[in-house]
Structure 1
Amino acid sequence: MDLADLRIFRTVVREGGITRAAEKLFRVQSNVTTRIRQLEEDLGVQLFIREGKRLHVSPAGHKLVGYADRLLALAEEARTAMLDPRPRGTLRLGAMERTAAARLPSLLADYHARYPEVEIQLRTGNPQVLATAMLAGELDAAFAAEPIADAPFEKQSAFQEQLVIVSAASRVSIDDRLDMPKTMIAFEHGCPHRKRLEQWYARRGFMAEKTIELGSYHAILGCVVAGMGIALMPKSVLSGFPESRWLKLHELPADEDNAVTVLFWRKGAGSSNVTALQELLAEQSLSTGVAAAAIA
Protein backbone atom coordinates (compact mmCIF):
# COMPACT_ATOMS: atom_id res chain seq x y z
CA MET A 1 0.00 0.00 0.00
CA ASP A 2 1.49 3.31 -1.00
CA LEU A 3 0.28 6.89 -0.81
CA ALA A 4 -0.42 7.12 -4.55
CA ASP A 5 -2.85 4.18 -4.33
CA LEU A 6 -4.57 5.74 -1.33
CA ARG A 7 -4.91 9.03 -3.17
CA ILE A 8 -6.47 7.27 -6.17
CA PHE A 9 -8.81 5.29 -3.90
CA ARG A 10 -9.96 8.40 -2.07
CA THR A 11 -10.57 10.25 -5.33
CA VAL A 12 -12.71 7.37 -6.66
CA VAL A 13 -14.79 7.47 -3.48
CA ARG A 14 -15.19 11.24 -3.59
CA GLU A 15 -15.98 11.40 -7.31
CA GLY A 16 -18.36 8.44 -7.18
CA GLY A 17 -16.74 6.36 -9.90
CA ILE A 18 -13.74 5.44 -12.04
CA THR A 19 -14.51 7.75 -14.96
CA ARG A 20 -14.78 10.98 -13.01
CA ALA A 21 -11.83 10.02 -10.81
CA ALA A 22 -9.66 9.40 -13.88
CA GLU A 23 -10.55 12.84 -15.23
CA LYS A 24 -9.77 14.44 -11.88
CA LEU A 25 -6.41 12.68 -11.64
CA PHE A 26 -5.51 13.10 -15.34
CA ARG A 27 -5.15 9.34 -15.71
CA VAL A 28 -6.68 6.83 -18.11
CA GLN A 29 -9.53 4.76 -16.67
CA SER A 30 -7.70 1.46 -17.06
CA ASN A 31 -4.85 2.75 -14.92
CA VAL A 32 -7.22 3.82 -12.14
CA THR A 33 -9.00 0.45 -12.27
CA THR A 34 -5.70 -1.43 -12.11
CA ARG A 35 -4.46 0.58 -9.12
CA ILE A 36 -7.70 -0.01 -7.22
CA ARG A 37 -7.49 -3.77 -7.83
CA GLN A 38 -3.83 -3.78 -6.74
CA LEU A 39 -4.79 -2.00 -3.52
CA GLU A 40 -7.55 -4.54 -2.86
CA GLU A 41 -5.13 -7.41 -3.43
CA ASP A 42 -2.57 -5.80 -1.16
CA LEU A 43 -5.08 -5.35 1.67
CA GLY A 44 -6.91 -8.61 1.03
CA VAL A 45 -10.36 -6.96 1.11
CA GLN A 46 -12.93 -5.72 -1.39
CA LEU A 47 -13.11 -1.94 -1.28
CA PHE A 48 -15.99 -1.56 -3.74
CA ILE A 49 -19.13 -3.52 -4.53
CA ARG A 50 -19.47 -3.64 -8.30
CA GLU A 51 -22.90 -3.64 -9.94
CA GLY A 52 -22.30 -3.52 -13.66
CA LYS A 53 -20.51 -0.25 -14.34
CA ARG A 54 -21.52 1.22 -10.99
CA LEU A 55 -19.39 1.11 -7.86
CA HIS A 56 -20.56 1.24 -4.26
CA VAL A 57 -18.11 1.66 -1.40
CA SER A 58 -17.96 -1.53 0.66
CA PRO A 59 -17.86 -1.56 4.50
CA ALA A 60 -14.11 -2.14 4.31
CA GLY A 61 -13.82 0.75 1.88
CA HIS A 62 -15.67 3.08 4.26
CA LYS A 63 -13.25 2.08 7.00
CA LEU A 64 -10.23 2.72 4.78
CA VAL A 65 -11.41 6.21 3.79
CA GLY A 66 -10.80 7.51 7.30
CA TYR A 67 -7.30 6.04 7.41
CA ALA A 68 -6.54 7.33 3.93
CA ASP A 69 -7.52 10.88 4.93
CA ARG A 70 -5.29 10.76 7.99
CA LEU A 71 -2.30 9.19 6.22
CA LEU A 72 -2.43 11.60 3.30
CA ALA A 73 -2.79 14.57 5.64
CA LEU A 74 0.19 13.35 7.67
CA ALA A 75 2.25 12.91 4.51
CA GLU A 76 1.41 16.45 3.45
CA GLU A 77 2.35 17.73 6.90
CA ALA A 78 5.69 15.94 6.67
CA ARG A 79 6.34 17.36 3.20
CA THR A 80 5.53 20.87 4.41
CA ALA A 81 7.77 20.45 7.45
CA MET A 82 10.70 19.38 5.27
CA LEU A 83 10.33 22.50 3.15
CA ASP A 84 9.64 24.82 6.08
CA PRO A 85 12.86 26.45 7.36
CA ARG A 86 11.34 27.25 10.76
CA PRO A 87 12.72 25.26 13.71
CA ARG A 88 10.23 22.64 14.86
CA GLY A 89 10.06 19.06 16.07
CA THR A 90 12.68 17.62 18.42
CA LEU A 91 16.20 18.83 19.16
CA ARG A 92 18.25 16.03 20.73
CA LEU A 93 20.97 17.88 22.60
CA GLY A 94 23.95 16.57 24.55
CA ALA A 95 26.13 18.36 27.08
CA MET A 96 28.76 17.82 29.73
CA GLU A 97 27.29 17.95 33.23
CA ARG A 98 28.89 21.28 34.09
CA THR A 99 27.62 22.90 30.90
CA ALA A 100 24.13 21.52 31.39
CA ALA A 101 23.94 22.78 34.97
CA ALA A 102 25.47 26.24 34.65
CA ARG A 103 25.49 27.35 31.03
CA LEU A 104 22.40 25.88 29.41
CA PRO A 105 19.43 26.95 31.57
CA SER A 106 19.34 30.55 30.35
CA LEU A 107 20.34 29.60 26.80
CA LEU A 108 17.65 26.94 26.47
CA ALA A 109 15.05 29.21 28.10
CA ASP A 110 15.74 31.81 25.40
CA TYR A 111 15.65 29.11 22.72
CA HIS A 112 12.28 27.80 23.92
CA ALA A 113 10.83 31.32 24.09
CA ARG A 114 11.91 31.98 20.52
CA TYR A 115 11.09 28.55 19.08
CA PRO A 116 8.20 27.07 21.10
CA GLU A 117 7.53 24.41 18.45
CA VAL A 118 10.84 22.70 19.27
CA GLU A 119 10.95 20.05 22.00
CA ILE A 120 14.41 19.80 23.56
CA GLN A 121 15.66 16.44 24.81
CA LEU A 122 18.85 16.76 26.91
CA ARG A 123 21.43 14.06 27.58
CA THR A 124 24.61 14.47 29.63
CA GLY A 125 27.95 12.71 29.32
CA ASN A 126 31.63 13.23 28.71
CA PRO A 127 32.85 14.28 25.24
CA GLN A 128 33.63 10.70 24.15
CA VAL A 129 30.15 9.50 25.11
CA LEU A 130 28.50 12.45 23.38
CA ALA A 131 30.57 12.07 20.20
CA THR A 132 29.78 8.35 20.02
CA ALA A 133 26.08 9.03 20.49
CA MET A 134 26.13 11.61 17.72
CA LEU A 135 27.89 9.31 15.27
CA ALA A 136 25.24 6.69 16.10
CA GLY A 137 22.50 9.16 15.14
CA GLU A 138 21.24 9.53 18.73
CA LEU A 139 22.04 13.27 19.08
CA ASP A 140 21.66 16.27 16.78
CA ALA A 141 24.29 18.44 18.52
CA ALA A 142 26.22 18.61 21.77
CA PHE A 143 28.27 20.90 23.99
CA ALA A 144 31.66 19.61 25.11
CA ALA A 145 35.10 20.87 26.02
CA GLU A 146 37.83 20.67 23.41
CA PRO A 147 39.46 18.70 21.97
CA ILE A 148 36.75 17.36 19.67
CA ALA A 149 37.80 15.43 16.56
CA ASP A 150 37.75 17.56 13.41
CA ALA A 151 37.14 14.87 10.80
CA PRO A 152 33.52 13.86 11.51
CA PHE A 153 32.24 17.09 13.08
CA GLU A 154 31.64 20.78 12.56
CA LYS A 155 32.09 23.06 15.56
CA GLN A 156 31.35 26.50 16.91
CA SER A 157 32.95 27.95 20.03
CA ALA A 158 30.37 28.48 22.73
CA PHE A 159 31.86 29.25 26.16
CA GLN A 160 35.24 30.12 27.67
CA GLU A 161 35.97 28.60 31.07
CA GLN A 162 38.70 29.59 33.53
CA LEU A 163 40.14 26.46 35.13
CA VAL A 164 41.42 26.23 38.69
CA ILE A 165 42.63 23.48 40.98
CA VAL A 166 40.74 23.26 44.26
CA SER A 167 41.92 21.77 47.51
CA ALA A 168 40.82 21.83 51.13
CA ALA A 169 41.37 25.24 52.71
CA SER A 170 44.02 23.74 54.98
CA ARG A 171 46.37 23.02 52.06
CA VAL A 172 48.59 26.05 51.59
CA SER A 173 50.25 25.00 48.33
CA ILE A 174 49.99 22.39 45.62
CA ASP A 175 53.42 23.17 44.16
CA ASP A 176 55.57 21.98 47.04
CA ARG A 177 57.61 19.19 45.46
CA LEU A 178 58.02 17.58 48.87
CA ASP A 179 54.28 17.57 49.52
CA MET A 180 52.53 17.06 46.18
CA PRO A 181 48.85 16.02 46.46
CA LYS A 182 48.77 12.25 46.24
CA THR A 183 45.08 11.85 45.32
CA MET A 184 43.15 13.41 42.46
CA ILE A 185 39.34 13.49 42.38
CA ALA A 186 37.69 13.50 38.97
CA PHE A 187 35.03 12.17 36.66
CA GLU A 188 35.47 8.94 34.71
CA HIS A 189 37.92 8.50 31.83
CA GLY A 190 36.91 10.67 28.89
CA CYS A 191 36.40 13.80 30.98
CA PRO A 192 38.62 16.57 29.53
CA HIS A 193 39.16 18.15 32.96
CA ARG A 194 40.46 14.86 34.31
CA LYS A 195 42.90 14.73 31.41
CA ARG A 196 44.01 18.30 32.12
CA LEU A 197 44.71 17.41 35.76
CA GLU A 198 46.71 14.36 34.69
CA GLN A 199 48.71 16.64 32.39
CA TRP A 200 49.23 19.08 35.27
CA TYR A 201 50.84 16.29 37.31
CA ALA A 202 52.89 15.11 34.32
CA ARG A 203 54.31 18.58 33.65
CA ARG A 204 55.60 18.65 37.20
CA GLY A 205 57.13 15.21 36.98
CA PHE A 206 54.63 13.51 39.25
CA MET A 207 51.68 11.17 38.96
CA ALA A 208 48.77 10.86 41.36
CA GLU A 209 49.02 7.73 43.47
CA LYS A 210 45.26 7.38 43.65
CA THR A 211 42.26 8.59 41.66
CA ILE A 212 38.77 8.84 43.12
CA GLU A 213 36.11 8.74 40.40
CA LEU A 214 32.79 10.44 41.11
CA GLY A 215 29.74 11.34 39.06
CA SER A 216 28.95 14.94 40.02
CA TYR A 217 30.73 18.19 40.85
CA HIS A 218 29.02 18.47 44.23
CA ALA A 219 30.30 15.02 45.19
CA ILE A 220 33.79 15.94 43.99
CA LEU A 221 33.80 19.20 45.93
CA GLY A 222 32.50 17.46 49.03
CA CYS A 223 35.47 15.10 48.94
CA VAL A 224 37.85 18.00 48.34
CA VAL A 225 36.47 19.83 51.38
CA ALA A 226 37.05 16.67 53.41
CA GLY A 227 40.73 16.78 52.43
CA MET A 228 40.62 13.61 50.35
CA GLY A 229 42.44 15.09 47.35
CA ILE A 230 42.49 17.85 44.74
CA ALA A 231 40.34 18.45 41.66
CA LEU A 232 40.51 20.58 38.54
CA MET A 233 37.34 22.28 37.31
CA PRO A 234 35.91 25.49 35.84
CA LYS A 235 35.98 28.30 38.38
CA SER A 236 32.31 29.02 37.70
CA VAL A 237 31.39 25.68 39.33
CA LEU A 238 32.17 27.18 42.72
CA SER A 239 29.52 29.89 42.47
CA GLY A 240 26.82 27.35 43.28
CA PHE A 241 28.71 25.51 46.00
CA PRO A 242 27.67 26.67 49.51
CA GLU A 243 30.78 25.30 51.25
CA SER A 244 33.25 27.18 49.03
CA ARG A 245 34.71 28.93 52.11
CA TRP A 246 36.21 25.57 53.05
CA LEU A 247 38.05 25.40 49.76
CA LYS A 248 41.27 26.94 48.50
CA LEU A 249 41.55 27.93 44.85
CA HIS A 250 44.92 27.51 43.17
CA GLU A 251 45.41 29.58 40.03
CA LEU A 252 47.01 27.87 37.05
CA PRO A 253 49.64 29.28 34.68
CA ALA A 254 48.30 31.20 31.69
CA ASP A 255 48.89 28.30 29.31
CA GLU A 256 46.92 25.89 31.52
CA ASP A 257 44.06 27.96 32.95
CA ASN A 258 41.43 28.03 30.23
CA ALA A 259 39.18 25.66 28.31
CA VAL A 260 36.89 26.20 25.36
CA THR A 261 33.47 24.55 25.24
CA VAL A 262 32.16 24.09 21.71
CA LEU A 263 28.85 23.24 20.15
CA PHE A 264 29.48 20.43 17.68
CA TRP A 265 27.36 18.46 15.22
CA ARG A 266 27.99 15.83 12.59
CA LYS A 267 29.21 17.11 9.23
CA GLY A 268 26.41 17.24 6.69
CA ALA A 269 23.77 16.57 9.36
CA GLY A 270 22.87 20.13 10.30
CA SER A 271 19.22 21.12 10.66
CA SER A 272 17.14 24.24 11.13
CA ASN A 273 16.95 23.42 14.85
CA VAL A 274 20.74 23.27 15.19
CA THR A 275 21.20 26.36 13.02
CA ALA A 276 18.83 28.28 15.28
CA LEU A 277 20.93 27.26 18.30
CA GLN A 278 24.10 28.36 16.53
CA GLU A 279 22.57 31.76 15.78
CA LEU A 280 21.37 32.22 19.35
CA LEU A 281 24.84 31.37 20.67
CA ALA A 282 26.41 33.88 18.31
CA GLU A 283 23.97 36.58 19.44
CA GLN A 284 24.70 35.94 23.11
CA SER A 285 28.45 35.90 22.46
CA LEU A 286 28.26 39.26 20.70
CA SER A 287 26.20 40.75 23.53
CA THR A 288 28.94 39.78 26.00
CA GLY A 289 31.70 40.96 23.71
CA VAL A 290 33.03 37.48 22.90
CA ALA A 291 32.86 36.35 19.29
CA ALA A 292 31.63 32.83 18.64
CA ALA A 293 33.97 31.50 16.00
CA ALA A 294 32.94 28.79 13.62
CA ILE A 295 35.50 26.00 13.50
CA ALA A 296 35.76 23.99 10.28
Structure 2
Amino acid sequence: MDLSSVEIFVAVADSQSVTRSAQRLERAPSNVTTRIQQLEQKLGVNLFSRNSKKMTLTEEGRAFLPYAKKLIALEQEARNAVKALDVPPVLNVGTMESTAASRLPPVLAAFSSECGTPLQLTLGATRELIRAVESEALHCALIAAPHDEPEWFAQAVGRLDHLHSVRVFQEDLLLVFPSTHRSVEQPADIAVPSLAALEPGCTYRQVAERWIGSSARCPTLELSSYHSILAHVVAGNAVGVMPLSVLNMLPWNSEVRTRSIGVIDTLLISRAGDRPPTLGQFEQILLASSAATADKMLQSQFVQ
Protein backbone atom coordinates (compact mmCIF):
# COMPACT_ATOMS: atom_id res chain seq x y z
CA MET A 1 0.00 0.00 0.00
CA ASP A 2 1.38 3.36 -1.07
CA LEU A 3 1.66 5.58 2.01
CA SER A 4 1.48 8.76 -0.05
CA SER A 5 -1.96 7.64 -1.27
CA VAL A 6 -2.95 7.03 2.34
CA GLU A 7 -1.83 10.56 3.25
CA ILE A 8 -3.91 11.95 0.36
CA PHE A 9 -6.93 9.95 1.56
CA VAL A 10 -6.63 11.40 5.08
CA ALA A 11 -6.29 14.94 3.69
CA VAL A 12 -9.42 14.60 1.56
CA ALA A 13 -11.33 12.98 4.43
CA ASP A 14 -10.44 15.92 6.70
CA SER A 15 -11.25 18.69 4.20
CA GLN A 16 -14.06 16.89 2.31
CA SER A 17 -12.73 18.57 -0.82
CA VAL A 18 -10.37 17.43 -3.57
CA THR A 19 -9.55 21.05 -4.47
CA ARG A 20 -8.63 22.14 -0.94
CA SER A 21 -6.63 18.96 -0.37
CA ALA A 22 -4.76 19.48 -3.62
CA GLN A 23 -3.82 23.02 -2.57
CA ARG A 24 -2.62 21.86 0.86
CA LEU A 25 -0.60 18.99 -0.57
CA GLU A 26 0.65 21.08 -3.50
CA ARG A 27 -0.66 18.58 -6.03
CA ALA A 28 -2.92 18.87 -9.07
CA PRO A 29 -6.59 18.05 -8.31
CA SER A 30 -6.49 15.39 -11.03
CA ASN A 31 -3.55 13.72 -9.29
CA VAL A 32 -5.43 13.66 -5.98
CA THR A 33 -8.45 12.08 -7.65
CA THR A 34 -6.32 9.47 -9.39
CA ARG A 35 -4.50 8.48 -6.19
CA ILE A 36 -7.81 8.08 -4.33
CA GLN A 37 -9.13 5.85 -7.11
CA GLN A 38 -5.96 3.74 -7.05
CA LEU A 39 -6.26 3.29 -3.29
CA GLU A 40 -9.92 2.24 -3.63
CA GLN A 41 -8.96 -0.30 -6.29
CA LYS A 42 -6.23 -1.63 -4.01
CA LEU A 43 -8.67 -2.04 -1.12
CA GLY A 44 -11.57 -3.19 -3.27
CA VAL A 45 -14.06 -0.74 -1.77
CA ASN A 46 -15.34 2.80 -2.32
CA LEU A 47 -13.93 5.11 0.35
CA PHE A 48 -15.90 8.22 -0.64
CA SER A 49 -19.50 8.82 -1.66
CA ARG A 50 -19.70 10.75 -4.89
CA ASN A 51 -23.41 11.55 -4.72
CA SER A 52 -22.84 15.14 -3.56
CA LYS A 53 -20.47 18.02 -4.12
CA LYS A 54 -18.61 17.11 -0.92
CA MET A 55 -16.29 14.16 -0.63
CA THR A 56 -18.00 12.33 2.23
CA LEU A 57 -16.74 9.07 3.60
CA THR A 58 -18.58 5.84 3.03
CA GLU A 59 -19.01 3.33 5.84
CA GLU A 60 -15.86 1.60 4.57
CA GLY A 61 -14.03 4.92 4.43
CA ARG A 62 -14.97 5.72 8.03
CA ALA A 63 -13.71 2.30 9.09
CA PHE A 64 -10.44 2.75 7.21
CA LEU A 65 -9.71 6.33 8.42
CA PRO A 66 -8.31 5.53 11.93
CA TYR A 67 -6.07 2.84 10.47
CA ALA A 68 -4.85 5.26 7.81
CA LYS A 69 -3.89 7.78 10.48
CA LYS A 70 -2.09 5.04 12.45
CA LEU A 71 -0.13 4.06 9.32
CA ILE A 72 1.00 7.67 8.83
CA ALA A 73 1.98 8.01 12.50
CA LEU A 74 3.85 4.69 12.39
CA GLU A 75 5.77 5.80 9.32
CA GLN A 76 6.85 9.01 11.10
CA GLU A 77 7.82 7.02 14.18
CA ALA A 78 9.94 4.70 12.02
CA ARG A 79 11.63 7.69 10.36
CA ASN A 80 12.41 9.22 13.77
CA ALA A 81 13.84 5.93 15.05
CA VAL A 82 16.19 5.59 12.10
CA LYS A 83 17.13 9.26 12.23
CA ALA A 84 18.04 8.91 15.92
CA LEU A 85 20.65 6.31 14.98
CA ASP A 86 22.40 8.90 12.80
CA VAL A 87 22.79 11.36 15.70
CA PRO A 88 26.36 11.12 17.06
CA PRO A 89 26.40 9.84 20.65
CA VAL A 90 27.34 12.37 23.28
CA LEU A 91 30.82 11.98 24.81
CA ASN A 92 30.51 12.68 28.54
CA VAL A 93 33.74 14.17 29.84
CA GLY A 94 34.50 15.12 33.43
CA THR A 95 37.16 17.65 34.30
CA MET A 96 38.54 19.76 37.09
CA GLU A 97 37.70 23.46 36.94
CA SER A 98 41.38 24.36 36.58
CA THR A 99 41.86 22.13 33.52
CA ALA A 100 38.64 23.33 31.92
CA ALA A 101 39.79 26.93 32.18
CA SER A 102 43.50 26.68 31.33
CA ARG A 103 43.84 23.63 29.06
CA LEU A 104 40.59 22.63 27.37
CA PRO A 105 39.44 25.56 25.17
CA PRO A 106 41.69 24.66 22.18
CA VAL A 107 41.05 20.95 22.75
CA LEU A 108 37.27 21.37 22.68
CA ALA A 109 37.47 23.54 19.56
CA ALA A 110 39.59 20.93 17.76
CA PHE A 111 37.33 18.07 18.85
CA SER A 112 34.24 19.87 17.59
CA SER A 113 35.91 20.64 14.26
CA GLU A 114 37.43 17.21 13.65
CA CYS A 115 34.87 14.82 15.15
CA GLY A 116 31.49 16.54 15.06
CA THR A 117 30.37 14.53 18.09
CA PRO A 118 28.51 16.40 20.84
CA LEU A 119 30.55 16.65 24.04
CA GLN A 120 29.04 17.19 27.49
CA LEU A 121 31.44 18.68 30.04
CA THR A 122 30.98 18.05 33.78
CA LEU A 123 33.05 19.90 36.39
CA GLY A 124 34.15 18.25 39.61
CA ALA A 125 36.99 17.38 41.97
CA THR A 126 39.29 14.44 41.34
CA ARG A 127 37.69 12.08 43.87
CA GLU A 128 34.15 12.53 42.59
CA LEU A 129 35.27 12.36 38.95
CA ILE A 130 36.88 8.96 39.55
CA ARG A 131 33.63 7.70 41.10
CA ALA A 132 31.63 9.04 38.14
CA VAL A 133 33.81 7.16 35.66
CA GLU A 134 33.56 3.96 37.70
CA SER A 135 29.75 4.23 37.87
CA GLU A 136 29.54 4.86 34.08
CA ALA A 137 28.11 8.35 34.57
CA LEU A 138 31.09 9.65 32.54
CA HIS A 139 33.00 8.13 29.63
CA CYS A 140 36.22 9.69 30.88
CA ALA A 141 37.59 12.35 33.21
CA LEU A 142 40.62 14.59 33.63
CA ILE A 143 41.96 14.23 37.17
CA ALA A 144 45.03 15.33 39.14
CA ALA A 145 47.58 12.96 40.72
CA PRO A 146 51.01 13.74 42.22
CA HIS A 147 53.80 12.70 39.87
CA ASP A 148 55.23 9.25 40.70
CA GLU A 149 53.32 8.88 43.99
CA PRO A 150 50.73 6.18 43.25
CA GLU A 151 50.67 4.73 46.77
CA TRP A 152 49.99 8.07 48.47
CA PHE A 153 47.34 8.83 45.87
CA ALA A 154 45.70 5.43 46.38
CA GLN A 155 45.41 6.07 50.12
CA ALA A 156 44.31 9.70 49.83
CA VAL A 157 41.94 9.46 46.86
CA GLY A 158 41.67 5.96 45.40
CA ARG A 159 43.38 3.37 43.24
CA LEU A 160 43.49 3.68 39.47
CA ASP A 161 44.81 0.18 38.67
CA HIS A 162 41.47 -0.96 37.22
CA LEU A 163 41.14 2.09 34.94
CA HIS A 164 42.82 3.08 31.71
CA SER A 165 44.88 6.22 32.34
CA VAL A 166 47.23 8.37 30.30
CA ARG A 167 49.11 11.50 31.34
CA VAL A 168 48.11 14.44 29.17
CA PHE A 169 49.45 17.48 31.06
CA GLN A 170 51.77 18.36 33.92
CA GLU A 171 51.13 21.21 36.33
CA ASP A 172 53.48 23.10 38.61
CA LEU A 173 51.51 23.29 41.87
CA LEU A 174 52.01 26.51 43.83
CA LEU A 175 51.35 27.92 47.23
CA VAL A 176 50.39 31.55 46.65
CA PHE A 177 51.15 34.19 49.31
CA PRO A 178 50.43 37.91 49.71
CA SER A 179 53.11 40.05 48.10
CA THR A 180 54.26 41.29 51.52
CA HIS A 181 54.68 37.78 52.93
CA ARG A 182 58.16 36.68 53.89
CA SER A 183 59.97 33.97 51.96
CA VAL A 184 58.63 30.48 52.71
CA GLU A 185 61.13 27.61 52.86
CA GLN A 186 59.21 25.40 55.26
CA PRO A 187 55.66 25.23 56.68
CA ALA A 188 56.67 27.03 59.88
CA ASP A 189 57.41 30.15 57.79
CA ILE A 190 53.72 30.59 56.89
CA ALA A 191 52.41 33.72 58.59
CA VAL A 192 48.79 33.86 57.41
CA PRO A 193 45.85 32.34 59.33
CA SER A 194 44.48 29.85 56.78
CA LEU A 195 44.93 27.81 53.61
CA ALA A 196 42.42 28.80 50.92
CA ALA A 197 41.52 25.79 48.76
CA LEU A 198 38.70 24.06 46.90
CA GLU A 199 36.60 21.11 48.14
CA PRO A 200 38.09 18.14 50.04
CA GLY A 201 38.13 15.88 46.96
CA CYS A 202 40.57 18.24 45.22
CA THR A 203 44.05 16.71 44.81
CA TYR A 204 45.70 20.15 44.88
CA ARG A 205 44.15 20.81 48.30
CA GLN A 206 45.29 17.44 49.63
CA VAL A 207 48.86 17.96 48.44
CA ALA A 208 48.96 21.42 50.02
CA GLU A 209 47.54 20.12 53.31
CA ARG A 210 50.14 17.35 53.32
CA TRP A 211 52.98 19.83 52.70
CA ILE A 212 51.81 22.22 55.42
CA GLY A 213 51.12 19.38 57.85
CA SER A 214 50.68 20.04 61.56
CA SER A 215 53.80 22.14 62.02
CA ALA A 216 51.95 25.28 60.95
CA ARG A 217 48.68 26.43 62.48
CA CYS A 218 46.94 26.93 59.16
CA PRO A 219 43.45 25.42 58.95
CA THR A 220 41.84 25.04 55.53
CA LEU A 221 39.31 27.62 54.35
CA GLU A 222 37.11 25.98 51.72
CA LEU A 223 36.18 28.26 48.80
CA SER A 224 34.30 27.68 45.56
CA SER A 225 36.61 29.19 42.93
CA TYR A 226 40.19 30.15 42.18
CA HIS A 227 39.12 33.78 41.89
CA SER A 228 37.92 33.64 45.50
CA ILE A 229 41.15 31.96 46.58
CA LEU A 230 43.31 34.65 44.98
CA ALA A 231 41.12 37.43 46.41
CA HIS A 232 41.70 36.07 49.93
CA VAL A 233 45.44 35.86 49.25
CA VAL A 234 45.70 39.42 47.92
CA ALA A 235 43.74 40.64 50.94
CA GLY A 236 46.35 39.02 53.20
CA ASN A 237 43.90 36.56 54.75
CA ALA A 238 45.25 33.26 53.44
CA VAL A 239 47.79 31.27 51.50
CA GLY A 240 46.22 29.76 48.41
CA VAL A 241 46.91 26.65 46.37
CA MET A 242 46.55 26.46 42.58
CA PRO A 243 48.51 25.36 39.49
CA LEU A 244 50.72 27.88 37.73
CA SER A 245 48.61 27.61 34.55
CA VAL A 246 45.57 28.90 36.45
CA LEU A 247 47.46 31.66 38.30
CA ASN A 248 48.73 33.01 34.97
CA MET A 249 45.12 33.49 33.83
CA LEU A 250 43.90 35.40 36.88
CA PRO A 251 43.95 39.12 37.63
CA TRP A 252 46.34 40.30 40.36
CA ASN A 253 48.76 37.45 39.57
CA SER A 254 51.65 39.92 39.73
CA GLU A 255 50.65 40.97 43.26
CA VAL A 256 51.53 37.67 44.96
CA ARG A 257 54.53 35.53 45.89
CA THR A 258 54.66 31.82 45.14
CA ARG A 259 56.37 28.64 46.21
CA SER A 260 56.30 25.43 44.17
CA ILE A 261 55.30 22.35 46.18
CA GLY A 262 55.41 19.70 43.47
CA VAL A 263 54.60 18.50 39.99
CA ILE A 264 51.07 17.21 39.45
CA ASP A 265 50.08 15.01 36.53
CA THR A 266 46.77 15.57 34.79
CA LEU A 267 45.51 12.12 33.80
CA LEU A 268 42.76 11.16 31.39
CA ILE A 269 41.02 8.16 32.95
CA SER A 270 38.37 5.85 31.49
CA ARG A 271 37.05 2.33 31.90
CA ALA A 272 39.50 -0.06 30.23
CA GLY A 273 36.84 -2.17 28.52
CA ASP A 274 34.48 0.63 27.53
CA ARG A 275 36.18 3.11 25.23
CA PRO A 276 34.04 4.40 22.33
CA PRO A 277 35.93 5.54 19.19
CA THR A 278 35.23 9.20 19.98
CA LEU A 279 37.07 8.79 23.29
CA GLY A 280 40.18 7.67 21.43
CA GLN A 281 39.90 10.74 19.21
CA PHE A 282 39.49 13.00 22.23
CA GLU A 283 42.57 11.45 23.84
CA GLN A 284 44.70 12.00 20.72
CA ILE A 285 43.62 15.66 20.51
CA LEU A 286 44.53 16.12 24.20
CA LEU A 287 47.98 14.63 23.64
CA ALA A 288 48.54 16.80 20.57
CA SER A 289 47.54 19.90 22.52
CA SER A 290 49.89 18.91 25.35
CA ALA A 291 52.78 18.48 22.91
CA ALA A 292 52.05 21.86 21.31
CA THR A 293 52.01 23.54 24.73
CA ALA A 294 55.34 21.94 25.64
CA ASP A 295 56.88 23.14 22.36
CA LYS A 296 55.73 26.70 23.04
CA MET A 297 57.29 26.61 26.51
CA LEU A 298 60.61 25.38 25.10
CA GLN A 299 60.60 28.09 22.45
CA SER A 300 59.84 30.71 25.09
CA GLN A 301 62.73 29.51 27.25
CA PHE A 302 65.06 29.50 24.26
CA VAL A 303 64.15 33.10 23.38
CA GLN A 304 64.79 34.19 26.96
Compute the TM-score of the two structures, normalised by the length of structure 1: 0.68
The within-5 A match list for 1:124-273 is 124-146=123-145, 147=153, 149-175=159-185, 179-181=189-191, 182-202=193-213, 206-252=215-261, 257-273=262-278
Q: Distance in 1 between matches of 2:99 and 2:82?
A: 38
Give CA deviations for 1:36-66 in whole Å, capped at 9, x if unaligned.
xxxxxxxxxxxxx998xxx998223212212
Q: Distance in 2 between matches of 1:95 and 1:285?
A: 16
Q: Report the number of matched residues.
A: 230
Q: What displacement does 1:218 show?
A: 0.6
* Between structures 1 and 2, the one with greater helix share: 2
SS, match of residue 105 in structure 2? helix
SS, match of residue 265 in structure 1? strand
Q: Are the equivalent residues in 2 in contact too, given 1:198–1:207 (CA < 8 A)?
A: no
Give CA deviations for 1:152-189 in whole Å, capped at 9, x if unaligned.
42112111111121100111122367543442111111
Q: Could you list the runs of 5+ residues in structure 1 that have no partner in the other structure?
A: 1-11, 17-48, 82-87, 291-296
Q: Which runs of 4+ in 1 moved over 6 A?
A: none
Q: What displacement does 1:223 show?
A: 0.3
Q: Are the equivalent residues in 2 in contact too, given 1:184–1:208 (CA < 8 A)?
A: no
Greater displacement, 148-157 / 181-190: 148-157
Q: Distance in 2 between matches of 1:178 and 1:278?
A: 42
Give CA deviations for 1:122-171 in whole Å, capped at 9, x if unaligned.
11110122222233332222111125632442112111111121100111
Q: Distance in 2 between matches of 1:242 and 1:76?
A: 50
Q: Are the equivalent residues in 2 in contact too, given 1:161–1:235 (CA < 8 A)?
A: yes
1:90 alignment partner AA = V
Compute the TM-score of the two structures, normalised by the length of structure 2: 0.67
SS, match of residue 90 in structure 2? strand
Q: 1:167 to 1:277 in 2, by over 3 A?
A: same
SS, match of residue 279 in structure 2? helix
Greater displacement, 149-158 / 102-111: 149-158
Q: Distance in 2 between matches of 1:227 and 1:265?
A: 40
Q: Are the equivalent residues in 2 in contact too, given 1:94–1:142 (CA < 8 A)?
A: yes
Q: CA RMSD in A?
A: 2.8
Give CA deviations for 1:98-141 in whole Å, capped at 9, x if unaligned.
0111111111011111123x222211110122222233332222
Q: 1:130 to 1:111 in 2, by over 3 A?
A: same
1:193 alignment partner AA = Y
Counterpart position of 2:96: 96
Kindly indicate whether residue 73 of structure 2 is the aligned counterpart of residue 67 of structure 1: yes
